[in-house]
Amino acid sequence: MSIGITADHEGNPVFNADEQRIGIVASVEHGTAYVNPDPNILEEFGAKFGWERSDQETHPLAEEQIETVTDDEIVLRSDL
């Protein structure tokens, strides 16, 4: 089941379950959101999401990591 992420979500913030902003949707390709993470969260959350420090500016957000998608934001699951 697809959660319906489209190009309309580009530029939207991505929050963890604690309402901490972790980044912004930089692009959407084939229904996958690519997030430009806030550099301050990479140390704390990067490993949880499979994002490691690298030259890569954006990181894919796996569908199973997402709790909700609205017109204005994406919220991640609390068990991450």
Query: Residue 57 — pLDDT band, cuts 50, 70, 90?
Result: confident
Nearest to 12 by CA among 79, 65, 77, 76: 76
Task: Output the average pLDDT for the chain.
Answer: 86
Nearest to 68 by CA among 17, 1, 8, 6: 17
Range in 1-10, 14-23, 35-44, 47-56 with the lowest mean pLDDT: 47-56
What CATH architecture does domain 7-76 belong to? Roll (2.30)
pLDDT of 70 > 80? The answer is yes
User: Mind listing the pLDDT tens digit for each residue in 9-27?
Assistant: 999 999 999 999 999 999 9
What gap in Å lies between CA 61 and CA 51, rounded to an integer?
Answer: 9
- Give the end-to-end CA distance of the chain in Å, rounded to a whole number: 20
- The domain ranges of the chain are 7-76
pTM: 0.85
